[in-house]
Structure 1
Amino acid sequence: MISGRTSLPEHVTVKAFVIVPLVAVAVAVPFAWGWGLSWIDVGLGAFFFVISGLGVTVGYHRLFTHGSFKANRALRVALAIAGSFAAQGQVTTWVADHRRHHAFSDRAGDPHSPWLFGTGPRALAKGFWHAHMGWLFDREVTNSQRFAPDLLADKDIRMVDRLFPLWIAMSLLLPGIAGGLITWSVWGGVTAFFWAGLVRVGLLHHVTWSVNSICHMIGERPFTSRDKAANFWPLAIFSFGEAWHNLHHADPTCARHGVLRGQIDISARVIWLFEKLGWARDVRWPTSARLDRLATAK
């Protein structure tokens, strides 16, 4: 098992990679305000960010990858389409990659571990890039027959996968159409397409990729797992609870990742709501006894 500790030089290096890009984005937004960014763009961007983000976290991840709960047919299809709106790949491809990640987490065979190249500054830089997005450009295609045979056999999911280009087009065009109709102007449609379409997809990509990279490099590890998965609280809200990554790798099928006091897990709350509405069943909620067994010895 890879050690859960991170040395001070490694910690500083990782923080530099994490903080600098976020500062750059934060500085760019005020420059755009009043020229090409409005509250309508922000509102539409937030709406589509939530829909597509929960499609990934609740649908792609907790439902289709790990079977944390069962959903009725309408909800399964809706979550598959919502996840497709994030433009992170077809349901089956995404699930196959993520199941392979868990099968070989932080070891050879993991498609996006940051720890495959060593622990020195240069190795960490290469590892961060690889885990964050480099693996997408130079990767071995995951065998879906091996890692996602259940989805290949699901006719509803096969249909959603076939229509993936349509979902991408809708994800990018619907914000622009809504912005144009709300402002009754072409410019309103253009800015909404840019911010609530393109930029929103890009931001969501980096939130998801940050779970792959940051949450396997720094953070708290209150539960025992066989890898370096950690909790990184600054990402918790934007990732809808996915950044409580340590518990997830300690107990992958658990429907709630943020199980400790103060850990907000929006995805788990959405699953809870689906359960109350009768749309979801057999939810794998955490139990005190299991959490006690998984807790890291102090």
Structure 2
Amino acid sequence: MSRTERAANLAGVVVPFAGVLIAIVLLWSSWVDGIDLAILAVMYLATAMGVTVGFHRLLTHRSFRVDPWLERTFAGLGQLSVQGSVLDWVADHRKHHAHTDVEGDPHSPHVGHGSGLSGLWHAHTGWLLETQGQADWKKYARDLYEDPKMKRMGRRFPLYVLMSLLIPTLLGFVLHGFTWQGALRGYIWGGLVRIFLVHHVTWSVNSVCHYFGTRRFDIEDRSTNVFWLALPSLGESWHHNHHAFPRSAKHGLKRTEIDLSALIISGLQKVGLAHDVVVISPERQAEKALPPQRTKIPA
């Protein structure tokens, strides 16, 4: 990783955190209202969906298919999450699946960085300063690398970072009556705070969901399901289910496993915008099921 890449990633961690500190001061001063929270919620859902439905289930695992225009829309929303270019994200994640929790995994809490808190730190944030964006596009994301429009979108990632901050700033400016205070509030709540939340929820899947939680299937890696992350992660925290069946469009395989991303994909399918949706039958799930006494792992 170059010094410039490391500095940019460090800024991506520190600046949103600074925004959260400012937001705490604004909360103390009651400088927040329904408009600010609505901007935060809309931006969170749009960009988190770009990651979970777009970057992950559509582009990384091809769990379903959509027309090119919608595929690029999801990729754009994913880039607005400020988690790296579409090619970097997909290549890193495919490499994670190719080397899960063994040497070569970009962000395992169990390999190369000790155990306990040091491993969790690496999986959650430390990897951003070492291995993020270093997976070979030609090896792990050849389909996107050979797509000129997707490749062009990836090169424009810095522009998407700017748009990710500009959109909520403009929304705050307009919705608060064309005031600079409204613009600032949109920038902080819909921009910095939202980026912070989406980042850390996503990174928790890398760290928490390979360390704490439960397991249902007989697979070799150390992925886990973490129920309390299901809502904020839009279903991504059924991560052990996902590692058992990587191409499944649905990660919450039980009715009680809330998976908002799967509901979005199902909705797209019902209106004819998604097709070839990968579904895992109960019989296939039963074939991989662990005995009940082995479903939990130690914290």
Shorter chain as normaliser: what TM range?
0.7 to 0.9
Q: 2:116 maps to what in 1?
A: 124
In structure 2, distance between residues paired with 1:276 and 1:60: 21
Residue 261 of structure 1: how far off its partner (Å): 2.9
Please tell me whether the aligned partners of residues 92 and 152 of structure 1 are also in contact (alpha carbons under 8 angstroms): yes
Please tell me whether the aligned partners of residues 62 and 255 of structure 1 are also in contact (alpha carbons under 8 angstroms): yes
Paired residue for 2:164, among 162, 167, 171? 171
Q: 2:86 maps to what in 1?
A: 91
Residue 199 of structure 1: how far off its partner (Å): 1.1
Please tell me whether the aligned partners of residues 255 and 285 of structure 1 are also in contact (alpha carbons under 8 angstroms): yes
In structure 1, distance between residues paired with 2:49 and 2:196: 15
Q: 1:109 maps to what in 2?
A: 104
Q: 1:190 maps to what in 2?
A: 184
Q: Any idea what SS the aligned residue of 1:70 has?
A: coil
Percent identity between the two aligned chains: 41
In structure 1, distance between residues paired with 2:74 and 2:169: 22
The alignment's TM-score, normalised by the length of structure 1, stands at 0.87
Q: Any idea what SS the aligned residue of 1:158 has?
A: helix
What residue identity is the alignment partner of 1:126? S
Q: 2:216 maps to what in 1?
A: 222
Q: Any idea what SS the aligned residue of 1:123 has?
A: coil
Which 5+ residue runs of structure 2 have no aligned equivalent? 1-19, 293-299
Q: 2:155 maps to what in 1?
A: 162
Which 5+ residue runs of structure 1 have no aligned equivalent? 1-24
- The count of residues paired between Structure 1 and Structure 2 equals 270
The alignment's TM-score, normalised by the length of structure 2, stands at 0.86
**Which is further off, 31-40 or 48-57?**
31-40
Q: 1:86 to 1:164 in 2, by over 3 A?
A: same
Paired residue for 1:134, among 121, 126, 140? 126
In structure 1, distance between residues paired with 2:160 and 2:26: 31
Q: Deviations over 1:234-270 (max 9, x none)?
A: 1100000000011100010000000113111000010
Q: 1:19 maps to what in 2?
A: none
What residue identity is the alignment partner of 1:154? D
What residue identity is the alignment partner of 2:143? D
Give the RMSD, CA atoms, in angstroms.
1.8
In structure 2, distance between residues paired with 1:38 and 1:116: 44
Please tell me whether the aligned partners of residues 117 and 124 of structure 1 are also in contact (alpha carbons under 8 angstroms): no
Paired residue for 1:243, among 224, 231, 237? 237
Please tell me whether the aligned partners of residues 111 and 135 of structure 1 are also in contact (alpha carbons under 8 angstroms): yes
What residue identity is the alignment partner of 1:41? D
Q: Deviations over 1:15-65 (max 9, x none)?
A: xxxxxxxxxx89x75972543322211110100000000000000000110
